[in-house]
Structure 1
């Protein structure tokens, strides 16, 4: 039976030692009296218990039973309702929420660690509250005071849940095509009519109410994405005293039958003149929704890390126990009939790849969380602006690279098990299935790559990249970076990233297909360089503190060595593919495929 135990030692290492989060929190007035190192550790300890003991045991049974749709209602798997009730009693939904409306006000650097635990324990369970957290962000940032005071306290408490309703049957990534309409009503509300698909948690039996954030068009809206507004549409209308009133005409028409995340209800939602309330300004709904979308993209990226960590833990345990063959240099366990498979080079290759990618991703997610905290809480305008720019640059990388490498790691974990990895009882095939969706939803990874290269590099002529590169060089030249063992490799990788970026800027000026042809390879190249920066920072700390704990810090340095020698060189083939240009993609006519 697979197990999940939160990697607390590694999380503390990243949070406290690599990024010195307590010092950052102490200098930000909004956080200085809310959280410190002891508070953070206590939260992580309790979160580990909740995810490992309450949620993780439901993962396999939830996958096998799945969400069930009966007569317009959704039933979550056995044990989910009881676990969710315990989960919200702990205040976990509002962990990073606005304290003015009942949230706990914790920093994002801490929240990303908790999210990783949730996804590692069970992605399906995690999604029910992940969408709520994102909805709260959009409401808090853009809704009226009346809507915030009515809805946020119950969303933060977990008593109500939130959803995000964008996609329609004919409109996926091109939101300018959406048709759901919103007609003004005499009382200032709106009547929404239309159908949305792929709505996570659109209907479920965990909460008393469900609050849908819906993109729709007003009657006089301009065409395309400029004419989209955002509306809050509750499942049950809310009375003046906060109690639930009549059922709103928004209903689940069916749920999808999916490859993975089977305990998460993915719904078709029909709005039949449902009462909704405008969030933000008319025809500015896409900008308001992207407040939520950017959160969800980071969160779904972390799903890739969480699944990879769960796969790694179980693959290591299996590799230490499974006896097959002998070590290349002779018997490692001569008293046994065979050696554990962890002695074999190819098994070690897979495990080391998983470890290096997962720990690199954990550091990078914490780094992005740091930038989000600075963007939100820094008092200096210049510092806040720089952090906002970094978040914009790194969000598509976090979503796509975390999930692409997360699936790679889960596949390696399954492979370590051999034939047993293909069998349900070991849990590895479920992790492969659950991780796969993360590359698709919240904007496919191809769309993320187009965003990175088209909007974040070409459109601003590489300004964001220059900011990132300046930070990396400043680290290499700092007391922490000078003399650390991987500085030269990091700078070489950074130079290659800058050179290919400059080349792409030139190509994009003459070739309209250049961005699309290079985008995915470019995102991966950037991702490996970003992870190299993370591993250089981790190695710097490990080198200084190695004498304090040889087992832990020595393992960090060995894993860093593996990353720089075996994984970072992937950038060479990516660069070659990018420089090949777009011509070979158009060598066939459509009829020749």
Structure 2
């Protein structure tokens, strides 16, 4: 079975030729010395770690799973050692704040490393990914004392993080949660309650595990306005920074899951666990969404990583598997990559992953601009674009990632259904990314109900104008004009549809009926835009296999995938009437 190949060549092409990474970094204070050469070398080393250390643990970890015995969680063989090697090599602090010991590299590099981690071992990648989300919340909302105590070791990766939000009766509707936090009298709180679905809730790596827990103060009102966020570590920290006594929290059980078996997803019991308020009382959701927005982008990248890995394995198999005769009947058996239906599946996966990687880089660049650009207006615009694209990246990337995993499994035929080939694990692992950190239906509702109306629609219109101007400025061979024209036509449909949705206002039924179709429409147009950009750069010197592939994939995407926008447009315009017509008792 072919091993994972980190897509470093594609990353280098995107950074150096499509996005002019060097000039972008030169404009951001603190990143002046970051360039494509440095980024490529970092990705090469990160890719080696993922391919040589993490991928070999992926299938064995899935088969062994995590265990809970006598209150102690054990991860599969090799995971703890791999995590320690990951931390010792400095990968935990790649984009961390240098004030607390991080390397301070751009978000672009972090997102690209996250993709490779997800391709190689999705379960493993959740440990540093969740830690980074907790770091975001602490850095933006916690007191200086909490920052100084916890951030250095969390950014290095020596301590890990977990988000304890969900309860059995409070999932998306967090206003229903019942966990309580009682003041102790010394500025700390005693937290009592049970949380479910807590990834990385415990592990056997050593160090501390810092839980961020949503709970209610005694006098808190009902609903979301009564929720506060608390930092509660597995081990209390002494004044000298060393670990003290075990906090009053325990793992009640491990969830038995469809996938990500090497990741301990815990039922956590907080039996008076000591914690400290993060942010203001009653403003827990504000602090939580700092963490959640970072995690939603991270989960989108997980979908991208799974899609990349699954497609790679399918391509390698299709080149080797002999079955059937050539199209002219003259040869046989032939590699199945010669068969049109197999090629269509492989090209679909490749065209979605490569466009997804481009959009991920573009979005990460906006994050770096929002954080560092010297011009306040540039920061504001970039921040708005990141907010607009966050639900798109999370939902579209994970939907596409799952679809690619399924189609890649299909390429293997019966072997794809057998565990030893590894494809069924990709399908199982990819499925969770569509569900956690806010289901994809919730992400679509966020896009239609909250993000499109931002600034009375100005952010969305600004994005569309940027895409249109970019497309109009592209120059390439005549054969790419058809691709560009197709994307411009799809963009025009999207703009018209968006205006119609904005004109309807906040009708929740109509929004719910259109949201998932609209998000996919939005993603396909965004991918089309970036295929034009990639093809333009490739056409200037189409002598390498990578650039020849780019041109072919751009044409394939425009001809075979972009037309979905026509049917999506029609479905959305049908409205909610047919969806809501059937009485609930008749289902």
Q: Which bracket does the TM-score occupy, shorter chain normalised?
A: over 0.9
- 1:371 is aligned to 2:366: yes
Per-residue deviation, residues 138-197 of structure 1 (Å, max 9, x unmatched): 111111111111111111121110011111110000111111111112111111111111
Matched, 1:437 2:436: no
> Counterpart of 2:410?
415
Partner of 2:18: 18
- 1:344 partnered with 2:335: no
Deviates more, 1:379-388 or 1:484-493: 484-493
- 1:414-461 per-position Cα deviation (integer Å, ceiling 9, x unaligned): 000000000111111100000000000000000000000000124643
Q: 1:492 is matched with which residue? A: 489
Distance 1:533 1:80, change over 3 A: same
Aligned to 1:536: 532
Q: Residues 24-47 of structure 1: CA distance to partner in whole angstroms, max 9, x if unpaired? A: 1112112124x2223212211110
The count of residues paired between Structure 1 and Structure 2 equals: 585
Contact 1:522 1:578 in 2 (8 A): yes
Structure 1 residue 482 displacement after superposition: 10
User: 2:218 aligns to what?
Assistant: 219
Residue 292 of structure 1: how far off its partner (Å): 1.0
Q: Is 2:375 aligned against 1:401?
A: no
Shift of 1:340: 0.4
Range that drifts further, 565-574 or 184-193:
184-193
- Write the distance in 2 (CA, Å) between the matches of 1:380 and 1:507: 35
Deviation at residue 237 of structure 1 after TM alignment = 0.2
Aligned-partner SS, 1:211: strand
CA contact (8 A) 2:169 2:176 kept: yes
> Aligned equivalents of 2:215 and 2:264: distance in 1?
23
Corresponding residue for residue 443 of structure 2: 448
Q: In structure 1, what is the equivalent of residue 287 of structure 2?
A: 288
The runs of 5 or more residues in structure 1 that have no matched partner are none
Residue 207 to residue 25, structure 1, CA distance change in 2 (3 Å): farther
What corresponds to 1:468 in structure 2?
A: 463
Residue correspondence of structure 1 range 70-109 to structure 2 within 5 A: 70-109=69-108
C-alpha separation in 2, matches of 1:503 and 1:470: 17
1:559 aligns with 2:553: yes
- Map of 2:583 onto structure 1: 589
- Is the 1:375–1:384 contact (alpha carbons within 8 Å) kept by the matching residues of 2? yes
* 2:575 is aligned with 1:576: no
Which of 516, 520, 523 in structure 2 is aligned with 1:520?
A: 516
Q: TM-score, normalised by structure 1?
A: 0.96
Deviations 1:464-515 (A, max 9, x none): 2101111012212325589753322221111100111122223346x54100
The 10-residue stretch of structure 1 (196-205 or 280-289) with the greater mean CA deviation from structure 2: 280-289
Partners of 1:482 and 1:288 lie apart in 2 by: 49
Partner of 1:321: 320
Contact 2:297 2:394 in 1 (8 A): yes
Runs (5+) with no aligned partner, structure 2: none
1:2 deviates by 4.9
| Counterpart for residue 421 of structure 2 | 426
User: Measured at CA, do residues 85 and 459 of structure 1 come closer, stay the same or move farther in structure 2, by a change above 3 Å?
Assistant: closer
Shift, 1:378, TM fit: 1.0
Conservation of the 8 A alpha-carbon contact between 2:474 and 2:536: no
1:282 Cα offset (Å): 1.5
RMSD across aligned positions (CA): 1.4
